[in-house]
Structure 1
């Protein structure tokens, strides 16, 4: 009886959100590139950025301009990604303190835009070791659409010494919004893609359809916690158009559904328990 009760209690504990998720609340910051890195003497964010774009320098307008970044892979693999612009221009840094393998690391994101003949942007995610002389550990292109940012708060703790980095790439037209959200693991001081989650918002005269992504971790006894991704796909109908006009198209019924996938660590990589979000992306593609 006692053993059965103990197993039940342990099972319940494994389903609780991880205790470290409330820690590491510090999110993304946007320091000027010319400002010093806190706690690191004479090192500036510009010094770190120059490890990616060697000739980056401030101009008279307060922007930082340079030429092409160093060679790097795309986070999705060799067949993905656009080309960087011939001239890079930055106004500030996007910086995020993370943990990886129990060590403190700094991640920085540089959205460089894109080349004229590319529909995709080019965004550098760089990983630094600031213990001792600063070192660039890895750099990848994480752009999966035109504009790329850290997705607030930028990271998701998956253990007491590890965070997953979360970026997003997006573009909008008059009534549609496209978002790709890469989940990125840092292992052995190298970036590894877990997955890219695609969502699609649409606002028409008679209704709005939104897809909100929520992420949380669940302890499951593995070195890295499981990650549960839930997209809430909701349709909200409108009595009239934005300016009170009548709508020609018929509105679908108001509805809301949750589509969830859980990523589990299998000892070598994160694997997902279903293709539900891939199917959602396929459904969305038919509405583009």
Structure 2
């Protein structure tokens, strides 16, 4: 399959800070690709270099078969970009805003209105953009990025600020763009469930480097299949759990006990024998576990 994006050893530094430190990525045409990482990992800078919004200090980037800069009219028509921070033209309604973007690509107003409906913004069409809520503005920003039906779509934290319903609806829109229309989509996100649900592959970044790039299922499988079993502390104390399950990791808060184990059947059998199943929940390994395993748990600025 032909590559939509090829990045080889790209680097970008700001003073002594290496924002991007030797990143290499290949994204196939038609692929849904995610870039994950903690704050300051270099995700946005990497995306902006690939989009042609920033020049790398070194390395090579190819987008749809050509360098992203200088930007050509053909390239602009084939690429859509939704930035992390969106700025709209002042004193325009949502409808006027998206129609203005459509006009830049000589796209008819009908298509702009269809995108408003697709993103659930028809009832806000006559609202000034500065009066939209944060989630509504985010959806309008995405609409402006897809109104010209680009072959390649870049989304930087597209569901930030959206409520759960809007977020799930947007997932359906993005799935349709990718699966039915064959659009290549690259997104950054802090939502691990979003990446696990949507992406064919994800790259986990930290400190400007790519730590792993694989399908979510492969990353989860390689972590070792730890199961989390949580129950109220009233059913079993942490001290009792550590004695009963010496090979498991036991964590406790004021009200919840969590046992992390690779042998869930034995733990569940023992809990059942002690009549300690009330309020119990079981969760397998997720992409969030992989993320924390690769990048650590410390707070990031």
TM over 0.5: no
- TM-score, normalising length from structure 2? 0.27
Specify which structure has the higher proportion of strand. Answer: 1
Specify which structure has the higher proportion of helix. Answer: 2
Larger RCO: Structure 1 or Structure 2 (Cα < 8 Å, ≥ 6 residues apart)? 2
Say which one has the larger Rg.
2
- TM-score, normalising length from structure 1? 0.27
